[in-house]
Structure 1
Amino acid sequence: MNNTARIKKKYQLIKFQKLVIVSLLIGFLSAFLGISLKKITEYYEEIFFHQASTNPLFFVLFPIFGLSIIYFLREYLFRKKENKGIKEIFESTNSKSKNLPNYKIPSHFINGLLTVVFGGSTGIEVSTVVASATIGSVAQRKQNVFRQYKTELICAGVAAGVTALFSSPIAGILFAIEVISRKVTRAFLISNLIAVAIAFGLVFLLDEKPLFAVTITTWHLRAIPYFILLGILAGINSVYLTRCVLLFKSQFSKIKIHYYKILIGSIILSISLFFFPQLYGEGYHAIKGIFAHSNEVTLSFSLVLTFIGIILLKPIVTSATLASGGDGGVFAPSLFIGAFLGLLVALLLNTYLNANVIPVNFMVIGMAAVLSASIHAPFTSIFLVCGLTNDYTLFLPILVVCLISKYTAKKIFPFTVYSYSASLSK
């Protein structure tokens, strides 16, 4: 071996070692950020929701207070820049010169937390994804040797953040592939596998429990036609969610005085929360409640109206939250809509068709189906929801329904809130 080849081999080895070390660091920091945000949000959301449940006046006060604080933080602390969610990641990965600035880490962490704990009807998932992507972006800029690995290291942060939130390393990697990167290189595999391994190791050490304690026993082949129906309905609902978010953002962008946006968004949110407290924050408290009593629920006219009201209002309050300055995305709203849609469909089938389907199965499958259609990432949705319940019994029906919901949604409207732009739709 000549000197040139020897030097080249040594350089490649050093580059590989540095990639491993930086991936370890990104994995740990992204997971720590994700777990911290999740824990703090859960703790304070429970406190504030309890206060509002005791005194409904807080359903009016909390949203306007939270959105106002976020506005002032953006104006005076975060360079007057609005957070664009996952589109910020696309702008960075699609450009050699554009990078995610460092302040995006505290900006998304704080604003995501404030949005949810004060009743904003969204979730912390997108806040975590962008903040953890920024960790990868910052690491990539530290040394010239990492310049060529910009997308890979951003994806490593994203994958570790998703792993930390949902206790599913497979979902983390699949989300990075399906939504962010769309391609897999050797550097991508090395950096992302290391990052999610570290993230999952931290989740394991901290003994993080599944978000939803659900007992799934079995599923039956005779339920397949009903699963297909659920997939189609999930696809339609996801398009409704997507179009709502895009419409509200478009209309609110015409309002020049930002505080008017806050007032309008707060009014929509406050009125909705007053009548439907289930819409508060991420809505996971409501999902846990219906999971706990899904087999005991009996269908009534008032219950049907309540469920329909919740399913129709959730996209509206989510859109109002985001358009008026709240930080978040469609992850948690999709899971929320899917759970209520699945239970409603199961109750209607059992009551009027004597289908004898299992409500909890429809809730779990509904969650995955609406998420799959909303972000056009069926495989991410499968492992993410299975991670949330720590149960893979429904893997096959979830796979089928996620594919049906995604292609139903794409047939009706070919964009997600991440991929849509006015120029593309013309």
Structure 2
Amino acid sequence: MGLLLIDQIRKLLKRFTIWRRRRLQERQYIIILSIAVGFSSGLAAVALKNAVFFIQSFLKAGALKGEESYLYLIYPGLGILLTVLVSRYLFKGKLGLSIPNVLQSISKTNSILPRSATYKSLVTSLITVGFGGSVGLEGPTVGASSAIGSNYSRWSRLNYQKTTLMLGCGAAAAMSGIFHAPIAAVVFALEVIMLDLTVSSMIPLLMASISATLTSYLMFGDEVLFDIEVIDSFMLSDVPFYILLGVLTGLLSVYFCKSYWTIERKFDKIHGRYQKVLVGSIILGALIFVFPPLYGEGFVSIKAMLNGDMQSLFEGSLFYDYREHFWMIAIFLIAIVFIKSIATTLTLGAGGFGGVFAPSMFMGSAFGFLFARSLNQLGFFTLSERNFTLVSMAGLIAGILQAPLTGLFLIAEITSGYELIIPLMITAAISFITARYFQPHSLYTLQLAEKGELITHNKDQAVLTLMQLKTEVEDDFATIGPDQTLGELVKLVSRSSRNLFPVVNDDGSLEGIVLLDDIRQVMFKPKKYDKIQVWELMIQHPDAVASTDSMDQVMKKFQTTGAWNLPVIDNGKYVGFVSKSKLFNDYRKILKDFHE
């Protein structure tokens, strides 16, 4: 029955493909498909947000009572354990897709994402965040929505460039559905997913983003994550403070990334899945017990800080009775600012699943509020705590994600206006520059960049990233042993169309190469056929390419040596040759496809 249904679906898809190729121009179909991706992604975002809200409301109903706040010790660890069990026994060990996985797919799997990613990311993040894991839902939602776009494109049999565009439409739709910020969502796809800004890409991205926002409005109504108005106008006298805020949020972004990578490496040293769960859950539970705002995404706490509501911020905390004391507020905020990155990494390292977008906003809001209130406490200044809280969020997004325009437009849209556009531009730009000075890559892109798997807006680098060494290796070179004679080499030459002959030992290792030009004179002297051995004629290759080298490394070796052919070695064994002419031909082909 199941096979029959699958067969029927395939036939329907085939008929639909034939029909749409006859009746619709590809440009028209891309727009229709982008709307479908936006609608589906909007539904996914709304469903996930509502499900998490329901779970957290149910669990926190008891935990927020003073005498029962110990439940904060249990919930996050329980969620992580359930996530690990679900991923192991239901999803074959796969948690789902996050933004780095999406970026990697663009360079390594032709933007093709597995169908299962559309639900795995949602289920595992739902459990982790629903039970209080200190991570965000934006990354998993982007992963699931990108998978939706990728698979819609696969079913439509579109090429790599269009599949990448649909993947980007899914990413934009996810952000738009969550925040009701369609412009920021499009900028996110261009800035973080690294899509190109062209007319052919802009319209589908906008349509996907708008349709996701409308879907979210239909499901949520007018309810949004933040219903914030900018009450205080921007004051020119505040510019020095926004500049300082930009520097400090940039440095705080560096701290977030450094602490994230340090703790992640510590978890890598722990052997055993359940040992990681135990260690991470105990520490995370203790941190959330002492500082309840670390529970979950933190948007409730962000709202509290935007409204200056210390009662809500301190609710369930051991320090609740001191919520009106400035020094306690300052110490509390400093603690949650610096501990949030630790809590986020503990959640992920222990086996939970989520993203870092919401933690970035949480840290930004807490730091901005602390910054403004501390200066106001001195009595010499009157800064808008709400404005600095909002602008600081943009600063952390710009620094941690290295996406200044995303942070700028997101805050502008969720405040329903551009009243703060100047301070947003100042702080986001300076934060980005500061963070970039200390670390050239974002939290999303560092590991991909180290592996040479990161697609960027640099077209040369992007094309090299899309090329794969294994497809460039030519293994039809006739090999000869070092102890064989010139006569045997001449026979080999007569049967070969190549002018280069690798000299290979019995164990498969490469000793050197023989060039046809080097033996042209001696090969016509039959008397020397039995007297000269191959090792006397061979030369050393100028360099070798390891099978694990990136294409960028390969091109640098060609540039350094000036050679037209370089041998490829895998664990000391000869594999074949890679030629400069083949590389350039394939480079031109991919570059052409990249721009079509």
Of the candidates 369, 376, 381, which is equivalent to residue 355 of structure 1? 381
Structure 2: how far apart are the matches of 1:283 and 1:170? 24
Structure 1: how far apart are the matches of 2:235 and 2:325? 22
Instruction: Specify the alignment match of 1:307 in structure 2.
Output: 333
Query: Counterparts in 2 of 1:271-310, with a 5 A limit?
Result: 271-293=286-308, 300-310=326-336
Structure 1 segments, 4+ long, off by >4 Å, are 10-13, 294-299
Instruction: Specify the alignment match of 2:408 in structure 1.
Output: 382
Of the candidates 339, 353, 360, which is equivalent to residue 334 of structure 1? 360
Of the candidates 191, 194, 210, which is equivalent to residue 224 of structure 2? 210
Aligned-partner SS, 1:320: helix
Structure 1: how far apart are the matches of 2:228 and 2:442? 30
Q: Which moved more, 1:316-325 or 1:96-105?
A: 96-105
Instruction: Specify the alignment match of 1:41 in structure 2.
Output: 52
Structure 1: how far apart are the matches of 2:229 and 2:167? 36
Structure 1: how far apart are the matches of 2:196 and 2:206? 15
Aligned-partner SS, 2:223: coil
Deviation at 1:425, TM superposition (A): 9.8
Of the candidates 58, 61, 82, which is equivalent to residue 69 of structure 1? 82
RMSD (Å) for aligned C-alpha atoms: 2.2
Is the 1:100–1:138 contact (alpha carbons within 8 Å) kept by the matching residues of 2? yes
Of the candidates 268, 271, 281, which is equivalent to residue 253 of structure 1? 268
Structure 2: how far apart are the matches of 1:383 and 1:59? 35
Aligned-partner SS, 2:282: helix
Is the 1:295–1:360 contact (alpha carbons within 8 Å) kept by the matching residues of 2? no
Structure 1: how far apart are the matches of 2:324 and 2:228? 19
- 1:394 has 2:441 as partner: no
- 1:163 has 2:179 as partner: no
- 1:142 has 2:118 as partner: no
Structure 2: how far apart are the matches of 1:407 and 1:205? 39
- 1:236 has 2:247 as partner: no
Q: 1:261 to 1:364 in 2, by over 3 A?
A: same
Of the candidates 330, 345, 349, which is equivalent to residue 319 of structure 1? 345
Amino acid at match of 1:208: D
Aligned-partner SS, 2:213: helix
Q: Which moved more, 1:99-108 or 1:209-218?
A: 209-218
- Unpaired runs of at least 5, structure 1: 1-9
Is the 1:262–1:324 contact (alpha carbons within 8 Å) kept by the matching residues of 2? yes
- 1:117 has 2:130 as partner: yes
Structure 1: how far apart are the matches of 2:110 and 2:173? 24
Higher relative contact order (CA closer than 8 Å, sequence separation 6+) = 1
Structure 1: how far apart are the matches of 2:304 and 2:310? 12
Deviation at 1:148, TM superposition (A): 3.6
Deviation at 1:18, TM superposition (A): 2.2
Deviation at 1:203, TM superposition (A): 3.0
**TM-score, with normalisation over the residues of structure 2?**
0.67
* Deviation digits for residues 73-92 of structure 1 (CA, Å, limit 9, x no counterpart): 11111121244621110111
Instruction: Specify the alignment match of 2:437 in structure 1.
Output: 411
Instruction: Specify the alignment match of 1:29 in structure 2.
Output: 40
Aligned-partner SS, 2:74: helix
Instruction: Specify the alignment match of 2:547 in structure 1.
Output: none
Q: 1:275 to 1:425 in 2, by over 3 A?
A: farther
- 1:346 has 2:369 as partner: no
Is the 1:99–1:137 contact (alpha carbons within 8 Å) kept by the matching residues of 2? yes
Is the 2:97–2:117 contact (alpha carbons within 8 Å) kept by the matching residues of 1? no
Structure ID, larger Rg: 2
Aligned-partner SS, 2:158: helix
Deviation at 1:372, TM superposition (A): 1.3
Amino acid at match of 1:374: I
Of the candidates 106, 110, 132, which is equivalent to residue 119 of structure 2? 106
Deviation at 1:22, TM superposition (A): 1.5
Instruction: Specify the alignment match of 2:30 in structure 1.
Output: 19
Q: Which moved more, 1:61-70 or 1:40-49?
A: 40-49
Q: 1:422 to 1:102 in 2, by over 3 A?
A: closer
- 1:268 has 2:283 as partner: yes
Amino acid at match of 1:368: A
Structure 1: how far apart are the matches of 2:356 and 2:442? 10
Q: Which moved more, 1:19-28 or 1:204-213?
A: 204-213
Structure 2: how far apart are the matches of 1:98 and 1:253? 28
Deviation at 1:305, TM superposition (A): 1.1
- 1:221 has 2:236 as partner: yes
Q: 1:28 to 1:312 in 2, by over 3 A?
A: same
Is the 2:104–2:448 contact (alpha carbons within 8 Å) kept by the matching residues of 1? no
Amino acid at match of 2:137: I
Deviation at 1:66, TM superposition (A): 0.6
Q: Which moved more, 1:299-308 or 1:233-242?
A: 299-308
Deviation at 1:331, TM superposition (A): 0.7
Q: 1:307 to 1:145 in 2, by over 3 A?
A: closer
Q: Which moved more, 1:228-237 or 1:79-88?
A: 79-88
Instruction: Specify the alignment match of 2:394 in structure 1.
Output: 368
Amino acid at match of 1:345: F
* Deviation digits for residues 9-47 of structure 1 (CA, Å, limit 9, x no counterpart): x87953223212211211110111111111221232233
Structure 2: how far apart are the matches of 1:272 and 1:139? 42
Amino acid at match of 2:57: E
Structure 2: how far apart are the matches of 1:89 and 1:422? 11
Deviation at 1:409, TM superposition (A): 0.8
Q: 1:14 to 1:97 in 2, by over 3 A?
A: same
* Deviation digits for residues 292-336 of structure 1 (CA, Å, limit 9, x no counterpart): 226998662222111111111111001101111211121111111
Q: Which moved more, 1:137-146 or 1:263-272?
A: 137-146
Amino acid at match of 2:117: K
Structure 2: how far apart are the matches of 1:256 and 1:12? 57
Aligned-partner SS, 2:447: coil
Q: Which moved more, 1:204-213 or 1:99-108?
A: 204-213
Structure 2: how far apart are the matches of 1:208 and 1:265? 38
Instruction: Specify the alignment match of 2:490 in structure 1.
Output: none
Q: How many correspondences in the alignment?
A: 417
* Deviation digits for residues 174-232 of structure 1 (CA, Å, limit 9, x no counterpart): 00000112412343223212211211222343423232233322121111101111111
